[in-house]
Amino acid sequence: MSENKLNLTLKIWKQAGTNAPGSFETHKVTVSPDASFLEMLDELNDGLEREGKDPVAFESDCREGICGTCGLVINGHPHGPVPRVATCQLHMRNFKDGETIYIEPFRAKAFPVLRDLIVDRSAFDKIMYAGGYVSVNTGGVPDANAIPIPRDIAAEAFDAAACIGCGACVAACKNASAMLFMSAKISQLALLPQGQAERHQRVEAMVAKMDELGFGACTNTYACEAECPKGISISNIARMNREFLVSKIVSKLTD
Amino acid sequence: MSWLFRSLNSSVGKKVIMAVTGLSLISFLMIHLFGNLTLYIGREAFNAYVDTLDIIKPFIRVIEVVLAGIFILHIYNGIRLWIENRNARPVRYAVSGTAENTDFSSRTMFVTGSIIFIFLVLHLSTFWYNFNFTGHPETGSHDFYTIIVYWFSNKLYAVAYILSMALLTFHLNHAFQSAFQTFGWNHKKYFPLIKKIGLVYALIMGIGFASIPIYFSFICGGNQ
Amino acid sequence: MIKLDSKIPEGNISEKWTNHKFNMKLVNPANKRKYNVIVVGTGLAGASAAASLGELGYNVLAFTYHDSARRAHSIAAQGGINAAKNYQNDGDSVHRLFYDTVKGGDFRAREANVHRLAEVSGNIIDQCVAQGVPFAREYGGLLDNRSFGGAQVSRTFYAKGQTGQQLLLGAYSALNRQVALGTVKMMTRKEMLELVMVDGKARGIITRDLVTGTTEKWVADAVILATGGYSNVFFLSTNAMNCNTTAIWRAHKKGALFGNPCYTQIHPTCLPVHGESQSKLTLMSESLRNDGRIWVSKKKGDMRNANDIPEEERDYYLERKYPSYGNLSPRDISSRSAKEAFDDGRGVKGGEAVYLDFSDAIKRLGKHVIEDRYGNLFEIYETITGEHPYETPMMIYPAPHYTMGGLWVDYNLMSTIPGLFVLGEANFSDHGANRLGASALMQGLADGYFVIPYTIGNYLAENKPDGLKNSNEEFAKVEKDVNNITNRLLSINGKQTVDQIHKKLGRIMWNKVGMARNEKGLKEAIKEISELREEFWKDVKVVGKADELNQNLERAGRVADYLELGELMAVDALHRKESCGGHFREEYQTEEGEAKRDDENFAYVGAWEFEKNGKWNLHKEELKFDYVKLATRSYK
């Protein structure tokens, strides 16, 4: 473990509430390269609290890169400069002594800032309410092995299902589009036999909901895939597009 | 048919409009380039080619109207998407990472598209206008080859033309594979190939179209 | 005076649940929508319960302090979920899963509950598959299984190293469907701060909206707590940052008995602490122990780098002490042995870590095989520590991971407060003194999908809707209590931050109520914790206001509750004069240093009734073992 501490200048976005104006606040910190990025903020906050000042509001929970709660835009990159790593697993050894780091919230119309670096991502849940499920009640389902699923299909569905719903795709997309997030769920269920019954209405309802919530449209820049901490593939967006087109053409749904 | 309108008006629908119109334009460009390349065979060949087009004029007019429609839809839809997409992020980032997480062609589609549009206006107001209505701007001659020579003897015009073709290359490079992605034809095995084909196609178009002003303006000056 | 009645149904163990389901009262389908049920917590237990109750037709209000139901810490479970499917034809059965779980829990769980858990385990897998959970599969398309600690059969279903995530997203999807149908109302970013009781029954909760700071009153016919465990009492644990005891602790102070608070599981394979700023501990899957060898230097305070310590100076202590199980010894034993090494000054560079070495496995199997098996775990390790496990041995450290204790519940999962049900890790029920790997997910989903939908009906059928409104004076009174605590926290304006005090508490808990406990240490801990509590209420500094998004205030309230719970854990550990599972008392061990149970005097659930801070009354639920023979756990 390294001994040399890093001296850093942080430019942190501060905003009292959704409708309040925001601006950057500058803090100087000295931190161990072994600390995580969020531990650096913890320490900063502890110091601020000691002085009776308002700490920087940011969210995190599992700190293992799986719950999807954390998410800061660090020097223009959601979850920071290291690919396939969520903010909570980003460590300070990836930064250089003397560096200035800009920390901003995810910015999107559909993700209003609640305070400082915390945004409201409930729009994601609303997309899921629109159809991100298989309609089965508890009980009365067939035996688990009654539906054989080829291993590669199961693996592909898993890769789509690995999405942690953090919103980095929206934050990275220049159009603040939620298509990577949404397509991951549509893909998972379109690949699996369990999802076939509702395949058409699912994709139509979810796309309609995303549009309604103020996300942008995809222009295939693939920034989402580049910044996704779980490496969710843009081939899911392609599959969603295909599902959508096929559904619009062949399904009996009139909406 | 309201379902159709609503479908095309959705986020995926708008992408599909871009892709369908874009692919149509891509096909048109290919034919256009083949026609243009007759310039290299010589004055007679080129004039013969243009004369052939003249024979099927009514058909060409229909094609032109359809093309114009496609262009307008492509441009209108592109602008609409650009505005809506900008509105989806009302507060911009102080530091942007797009230079690192996207490639140049993909993030500049609106800019390259807008400049290509300006080029298009210039292009139509010179070649297309002269060919169809006025003939040679100075002599009124309907020797089309000389019209080409006339315009490209203007070095500034030629440079603008060449630069526009460079931007067109970038625009097409993203456009081709993007259309496949939009239609959902993204497969692990084939998509890298599609991207390569798109790049090669874009380069052929860009170099092919740009070679003409280069040739006429800087190599032989049209005096062959 | 509370009398504990576990309400275990009559009959043979394999018929109890079937008979009970038939004997319970039902609520007519048309009447279900007249009942309101509050579910607090949306992890595996809470989400599955809320979804299932919504499907039945109840009006459900589901609460989470997260921004979305999908964030609950169940999501971080890695290994898998057990089920007695016997898909592998290796001799598994409901009875074997039941037996393994009772034995693994060191004979401190209630037989009837565990048997029911084993009975419904298969249904859970069916349910999850139907929802589209992408479990790992064989080439033929059927489900794959792996084996896990404490069992001799392969019964663990998994989805890579993200089983908890996939199961939670399955339950979350079922919940979302009910939200869309309008049977469940999702209340995000609202934290339960109090239970409201009317006429001795649980009738609602008070929440604080974490964005606006407003307190709100919610009324219901029954309240379900599925709020997880309390390992964060140690400050450093593998639990998520926001995991807390507040919901169950406030219910406890309202009269719900707390069962076996001292049973905590310390997981042996976590990443070591890097320094003072460490915020939490990261778990590395236990599966690493299949190929890794655990060792420390034979010399005390050996400051050499791992690769400079020659083979003959290394002590592979698990292999030495437990030749038959070796590096795969159960979690409690493995953790404790590591602690012995630290205490002896033989931890890595004299500190608190031991080596987990893959060099032999790499030599034996080749790097690619190891990469195949553990590649992603090695990557995580490298991301966090900056070291490559292929080149230098991993360093691991034991960390608080799971709490077997929780609110006492009867067979119906109802606490001692009528109408208050407790599910998942928040209750004490199924794991006894030690939980086996891949059993937590099983219990959470069993409780939520297959137990509570039946048992709550039985309660509700007898407690008809009475039109109670949140304008009832009891709600106003409790809301006022909540606001008083908030205002008090904000007005102290002392010198220490909440985290500073939490870290102090963690240190006391880790050193004295951790992996190995003794009478002296526990007595000191009780005194120190109560002093620290006083210090907290005099000297803590909480900034900001009540009516805004205030994370400092949120943490302060949680730590205040930990400062009370911590003492109860020590009290329980002190009273339990035996060693069992995760509870190891140094005075009660065999000559070889193994845990020594005292079945004659301690084969009971210690259920504590809150009287006032620092004073609890013990109630005992005697445990009877009619189907599993009491035996000493041996892994030699």
Asked if the ipTM is above 0.95, the reply is yes
Residue type, C401: H
B and A make contact (3+ CB pairs below 8 Å) = yes
pLDDT given for residue B173 in this prediction = 97
Q: Inter-chain contact C497–A162, Cβ cutoff 8 Å?
A: no
Provide the CATH topology of domain C268-399: Flavocytochrome C3; Chain A, domain 1 (3.90.700)
Q: Is C583 helix (H, G, I), strand (E, B) or coil?
A: strand
Query: Hey, of A64, A121, A134, which one would you mutate to test binding to chain C, going by the most C CBs within 10 A of its CB?
Result: A64
| Confidence band of C635 (pLDDT split at 50, 70, 90) | low
Q: What is the DSSP string of A196-218?
A: GGGHHHHHHHHHHHHHHTT----
Q: Tell me, yes or no, if C190 comes closer than 8 A to chain A by beta carbon.
A: no
Given C68, C132, C211, which is nearest A195 (Cβ)? Answer: C132
pLDDT exceeds cutoff 90 at C102: yes
Residues C244, B156: Cα–Cα separation, whole Å: 72
Domain ranges of chain C: 268-399, 473-603
Distance CA A60, CA A89 (A): 11
CATH (residue range B11-219):
1.20.1300
Give the pLDDT confidence score for residue C1 in this predicted structure. 63
pLDDT of C559 above 80: yes
Give φ, ψ of B172 to 5 degrees.
-70, -35
> Rounded distance, CA A137 to CA C450, Å?
12
Q: For B132-191, how does the pLDDT look when each residue is reduced to its tens digit (9 = 90+)? A: 999 999 999 999 999 999 999 999 999 999 999 999 999 999 999 999 999 999 988 999
For residue A10, the tally of other CB atoms under 10 A from its CB is: 21
Q: Which residues pair with C201 in a beta bridge?
A: C198
Length of chain A, in residues? 255
Cβ–Cβ < 8 Å for C171, C48: yes
Quick check: helix, strand or coil at residue C581? Answer: coil
Taking contacts as CB-CB distances below 8 angstroms, the residues of chain A near C125 are 144
What pLDDT is stored for residue A1 in this prediction? 46
Kindly determine whether residue A82 and residue C140, on different chains, have CB atoms separated by under 8 Å.
Answer: no
Question: Would you state the pLDDT for residue C60?
Answer: 98
Looking at residue C632, what is its pLDDT?
81
The structure tokens listed for A73 are 């835009």
Using an 8 Å CB-CB cutoff, list chain A residues near B109. Answer: 219
For residue C287, name the pLDDT band (cuts at 50, 70, 90): confident
Q: Which residues are within 8 A (CB) of C474 and not within 5 positions of it... i.e. 6 or more apart?
A: C196, C197, C198, C203
Tell me: pLDDT of C72 over 90. yes
C-alpha closest to that of C400 among C373, C374, C425, C422: C425
Query: How far is Cα C435 from Cα C117, in angstroms, rounded to an integer?
Result: 13
- The residues that bridge with C484 in the sheet, in sequence order, are none
Q: A and C: touch, per 3+ CB pairs < 8 A?
A: yes
C391-425 pLDDT per residue, tens = 999 999 999 999 999 999 999 999 999 999 999 99
Q: With beta carbons under 8 A apart, name residues in chain C contacting A95.
A: none
> Using CA atoms, how far apart are residues C94 and C161, in angstroms rounded to an integer?
25
Q: What is C473-603's CATH number?
A: 1.20.58.100
What are the structure tokens assigned to C488, written together? 């008090």
CB C342 within 8 A of CB C351: yes
Statement: residue C147 has pLDDT above 90: no
- What backbone torsions phi and psi does residue C551 show, to the nearest 5 degrees? -70, -30
Q: Which residue of A has its CA nearest to B18?
A: A219
Beta-bridge partner residues of C206: C194, C217
Q: Specify which residues A74 forms β-bridges with.
A: A77, A103
Q: Which two tokens stand for residue C75?
A: 């999501």
Which pLDDT does position C332 carry in this prediction? 81
| pLDDT at B223 exceeding the cut of 80 | no
User: Å from A148 to nearest chain C CA?
Assistant: 4
* pLDDT exceeds 90 at position B117: yes
Strands C222-225 and C420-422: parallel
Residue A64 Cα, gap to closest chain C Cα (Å):
7
Phi, psi of C406 (to 5 degrees): 170, -170
Q: Domain spanning A122-250: which CATH class is it, in words? A: mainly alpha
**pLDDT > 70? residue B85:** yes
**Total Cβ atoms within 10 A of residue C236:** 22
Q: How far apart are CA C599 and CA C577, in angstroms?
A: 11
Q: Output the CA–CA distances (angstroms, integers) from residue C389 to B192, C291, C293, in the order listed.
A: 34, 13, 12
Q: How far apart are CA A178 and CA A123, in angstroms?
A: 10
- Out of C110, C331, C558, C585, pick the active-site residue: C331
Between residues A4 and C70, which one has the greater pLDDT? Answer: C70
Alpha-carbon span A122 to C581, nearest angstrom: 42
Over residues C316-351, the pLDDT tens digits come to 999 998 888 888 887 888 898 998 898 899 999 988
The answer to whether C459 and C419 are in contact (CB under 8 A) is yes
- Do the beta carbons of residue C472 and residue C201 sit within 8 Å? no
CA dist list (Å): C196 to C116, C220, C250, C426, C561: 31, 10, 10, 18, 18
CATH assignment of A6-115, among 1.10.287.10, 2.170.140.10, 3.40.1000.10, 3.10.20.30: 3.10.20.30
Three-class SS state of C573? helix
Q: What is the pLDDT of residues A113-125, one digit of tens each?
A: 999 999 999 999 9
Annotated catalytic, C331?
yes
- The whole-angstrom separation of Cα B216 and Cα B151 is 9
User: Which amino acid is it at C175?
Assistant: L
**Tokens linked to C31:** 């009447």
For chain A, the structural domain boundaries read: 6-115, 122-250
As a whole number of angstroms, the distance between CA C294 and CA C292 comes to 6
- What residues of chain A lie within 8 A of the CB of B187, using their CB? 235
Beta strand C258-259 with C420-422: parallel, antiparallel or unpaired?
A: unpaired
- The answer to whether A87 and A101 have CB atoms below 8 angstroms apart is no
Name the DSSP letter for residue A193: G
A vs C, Cβ pairs < 8 A, gives: 229
Residue A254 has pLDDT above 80, yes or no: no
- In angstroms, what CA-CA distances link C85 with A68, A196, C126, C143, C401? 32, 26, 10, 10, 27
The pTM (predicted TM-score) of the whole model is 0.96
Q: Smallest Cα–Cα separation from A244: which of A212, A193, A210?
A: A210
Write down the pLDDT at residue B224: 47
**Predicted confidence band at A3 (pLDDT cuts at 50, 70, 90)?**
low
Q: How far is it, in rounded angstroms, from Cα C68 to Cα C63?
A: 10
Write out residues 153-212 of B within 8 Å (CB-CB) of A: 174, 177-178, 180-188, 191
Res C636 pLDDT > 80: no
| DSSP strands (E only) in C341-393 | 354-357
Angle at C278 between CA A166 and CA C347, to 5 degrees: 130
Torsion of CA C530, C531, C532, C533, to 10 degrees: 50
Q: How far is CA C307 from CA C266, C313, C389, in A?
A: 28, 11, 12
Dihedral (C-alpha) B74, B77, B80, B86: value to the nearest 10 degrees? -70
Distance CA B16, CA A71 (A): 32
Answer for the pair B222, B148: CB distance below 8 angstroms, yes or no. Answer: yes
The CA distance from C403 to C232, in Å, is 10
Q: What does the alpha-carbon distance between residue A212 and residue A210 come to, in Å, rounded to a whole number?
A: 5
pLDDT per position as a tens digit, C448-458: 999 999 999 99
Provide the pLDDT confidence category of residue A157 given band limits of 50, 70 and 90.
very high
Q: Where are the domains of chain B?
A: 11-219
Distance from CA of A251 to the nearest CA of C (A): 22
Instruction: Give the model confidence (pLDDT) of C563-574 as tens digits.
Output: 999 999 999 999
